[in-house]
């Protein structure tokens, strides 16, 4: 099996999610507390002893039937694979927050200036059809707002490489109009603020990866 790396920063549910994952897969490794999404993933790749590595986010609740047994063909060793995830507030199912399988060397040498890291590591990208997890990002007011803001800023700015514009617009519409459950109000606020930010020609989209800036914007 490829190495499984669990990446966490300040997610309130990260320890719980890591413990649940480790019960099923005792060899899972963890990268925790590294500031900057790109840096955290580079560190994860350096920690891997296999040429491909699984990435599980700190807010991911991995489904029981997901087994990490997928094997990449020799023709796809330079390809990013992303499984689908379910959004607990609006029921969208797509790659947002899903489990990923990255090429080790390409991850170490990624372009750190890209706002959407996952789709820019390689020119080859595979959207896998199975659902791998629930992205339980609605764990607090700021956490919920931040996640919605970041995703909708990316969707609105069309910064995601090789995106389908019709799908992107539909997802943005759902994010900004539908939310049911814990901290749903903050999901809608974050989504709408992120959309506004992403649509502005004056916005520096790279700021969505600066969590200190996001915290200041949320407090404002």
Residues 11, 96 within the same domain: yes
If one counts the domains in the chain, the total is 2
Residues 131, 146 within the same domain: no
Rounded to the nearest angstrom, the gap between the alpha carbon of residue 92 and the centroid of all alpha carbons in its chain is 14
Residues 117, 176 within the same domain: no
Residues 20, 41 within the same domain: yes
Question: Is 42:20 a contact under the CB 8 Å cutoff?
Answer: no
Mean pLDDT of 200-216: 91
Res. 42: pLDDT tops 90 = yes
Residues 121, 163 within the same domain: no
Question: Which pLDDT value is given to residue 117?
Answer: 84
Residues 40, 99 within the same domain: yes
Residues 131, 164 within the same domain: no
Question: How far is it, in rounded angstroms, from Cα 36 to Cα 166?
Answer: 30
Question: Which pLDDT value is given to residue 171?
Answer: 97
Which domain range does residue 174 map to?
A: 141-219
Least-confidence region, from 31-40, 109-118, 147-156: 109-118
Question: Is 142:216 a contact under the CB 8 Å cutoff?
Answer: no
Residues 63, 92 within the same domain: yes
Rounded to the nearest angstrom, the gap between the alpha carbon of residue 201 and the centroid of all alpha carbons in its chain is 24
Res. 140: pLDDT tops 80 = yes
Residues 183, 89 within the same domain: no
Mean pLDDT of 133-150: 98
pLDDT digit string, tens, across residues 73-132: 999 999 999 999 999 999 999 999 999 999 999 999 999 988 888 888 999 999 999 999
Question: Which pLDDT value is given to residue 195?
Answer: 97
Question: How far is it, in rounded angstroms, from Cα 83 to Cα 54?
Answer: 11
At 32, the pLDDT band (50, 70, 90 cuts) reads very high
Question: Which pLDDT value is given to residue 161?
Answer: 62
Residues 171, 72 within the same domain: no
Res. 162: pLDDT tops 80 = no
Tokens found for residue 112? 């750190």
């Amino acid at each position: 099996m490829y190495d499984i790396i669990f990446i966490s920063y300040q997610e309130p549910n990260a320890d719980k999610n890591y413990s649940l994952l480790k019960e099923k897969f005792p060899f899972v490794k963890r990268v925790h507390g590294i500031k900057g999404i790109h840096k955290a993933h580079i560190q994860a790749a350096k920690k891997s002893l296999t040429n491909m590595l699984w990435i599980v986010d700190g807010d991911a609740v991995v489904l029981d039937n997901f087994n990490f047994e997928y094997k990449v063909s020799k023709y796809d060793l330079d390809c990013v694979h992303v499984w689908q995830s379910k959004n607990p507030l609006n029921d969208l199912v797509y790659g947002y927050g899903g489990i990923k399988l990255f090429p080790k060397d390409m991850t170490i040498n990624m372009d750190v200036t890209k706002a959407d890291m996952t789709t820019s590591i390689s020119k080859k990208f595979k959207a896998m059809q199975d659902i791998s997890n629930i992205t339980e990002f609605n764990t607090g007011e700021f956490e919920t707002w931040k996640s919605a803001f970041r995703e909708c800023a990316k969707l609105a700015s069309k910064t995601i490489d090789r995106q389908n514009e019709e799908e992107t617009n539909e997802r943005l519409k759902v994010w900004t109009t539908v939310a049911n459950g814990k901290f749903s109000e903050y999901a809608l606020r974050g989504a709408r603020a992120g959309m506004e930010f992403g649509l502005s020609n004056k916005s520096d989209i790279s700021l969505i990866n600066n969590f200190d800036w996001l915290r200041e914007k949320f407090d404002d």
